[in-house]
Every structure is written in structure tokens, then in C-alpha cells.
Amino acid sequence: MKDIAIIGAGGFGREVAWLIERLNNVKEEWNFVGFVDDDETLQGKEVSGYQVIGNIEWLRNQEINVVNAIGDPIIKKKVIERLKDSKNTYPVLIDPSVIHSDKVSFGEGSIICAANILTTDIKVGKHVIINLDCTIGHDATLGDYTTVLPSVNVSGFVETKECVSVGTGSAIIQGVKIGANTVVGAGAVVVKELPANCVAVGAPAKPIKFF
């Protein structure tokens, strides 16, 4: 079995631990060694029965498999950049229930949770999170560090640039592009291109804030 650690001991980190358990129920592949988190109050404690074994700086000197369970795309990217000189590797974790064709490419470190469907000719970037019960349509591209929250519908030919966050229950119609670092609010319906560095909400989704 291969050692693996999870960055982030919060709610989604615990869900990823469960994902690893589900994978091991099918095939014993992963030895989950514990969580890594910069919260000093968690050091040495147990979270959902697993140890918090160190902080992110500790990972710089390791050589193990790591997945990043930080949901915020920009923070997720910063953490990976802190570890750029480490010898760790970033496997792809795909829940056994996921349906996808062999024409989907997954970038390193991506986490695909239960009950997702990805059809054909899809590109999933590095360190992408697709949370529970989403559909990703043909020819879609999810940029590096994108986070797709539960029950999102992404139509064909959609493209998200890096560090996009797509809120729970939102829908993106065919061919729409979403700029880097943009946040799509929960329940939004994206019917036209969204610029970079904004928060967009509503149906149809419109930017309400730029940063």
C-alpha cells in the first residue's frame, strides 16, 4: 500500500478521507497516514479517527503521496506553490461511483467525489476538486485549481480558467467561458461569459463584485 496524506483537516478533508476509505474497500491501495494542517491547535490531535501529523512546512521534506483538500482555489494554489520543491507526488483520486469515459484527462492531484458524471473529451486540470453529484459535459475544460461544489451542471464546451470556484447547485450553459479567480455563487445560472476576478450571482449570473 502507498502512503498518502491529506492537506486540510476541515470538513472537505474529512470527506476525502472517506473517499480514500471507499477506494480501499474496492482495492487496498492507500495507507492514509493522516492530515496536514497549519492550524496549530490541531497538531497531534485526531480528526475523524485520523492523526494530524504536521503542518504544510513539514511536507516540504517528505516524499509521499499528497492530495490538497482545501476548497478555496486561490489558497489551494498558494499551498501547492509552497511545496513546489518537494519530492511529493499528487495522485488523482476518483470515487468508485464516478462515471466517466476514457476520453477524460485528469491533471495531477485532482479529487473527483461520489456520484459525478463526466462524459467525453473533457480536460480536468491540476488540483481540481469536483464535489458530490455534478455533471460535466462534453469538451469542457476545468482549469487548474478549479473547485466545483456539489450538484453543479457544467454543459458542453464550457471553459473555466484557473482558480475558479463554482457554487453549489449552479448551472453553466454550453460554450460559456469563466475568467480566472472568479467565484460563481450558489444557484447561479451562467448564460454568458464572466470576466476574471469577480463574484457573480443570480439567474442569469451577473458580476456584483470585482477584486
Per-residue pLDDT 10s for the chain (211 aa) are 999 999 999 999 999 999 999 999 999 999 999 999 999 999 999 999 999 999 999 999 999 999 999 999 999 999 999 999 999 999 999 999 999 999 999 999 999 999 999 999 999 999 999 999 999 999 999 999 999 999 999 999 999 999 999 999 999 999 999 999 999 999 999 999 999 999 999 999 999 999 9
- Nearest CA-CA partner of 197 in 113, 89, 73, 106: 73
Q: Quick one: 39 and 114 in the same domain?
A: no
The answer to whether position 211 is within a domain reads no
Say whether 138 is catalytic. yes
Type of residue found at 198: C
In a shared domain, residues 99 and 185: yes
CB 176 within 8 A of CB 192: yes
Say if CB 17 and CB 36 are below 8 A apart: no
Q: What is the CATH number of the domain that holds 140?
A: 2.160.10.10
Per-residue pLDDT tens over the stretch 6-55: 999 999 999 999 999 999 999 999 999 999 999 999 999 999 999 999 99
Q: From its phi and psi, is residue 148 left (phi > 0), alpha (psi between -120 and 50) or beta?
A: beta
Please report the pLDDT score of residue 84 as a whole number.
94
Please write the tens of the pLDDT for every residue from 41-50. 999 999 999 9
Residue with cell 498558494: 78
Residues 97 and 78 in one domain: no
**What domain range includes position 74?**
2-82
Do 59 and 106 belong to one domain?
no
Among residues 100, 123, 138, 206, the one annotated as catalytic is 138
The tally of domains found in the chain comes to 2
Enumerate the known binding-site residues for substrate: 71
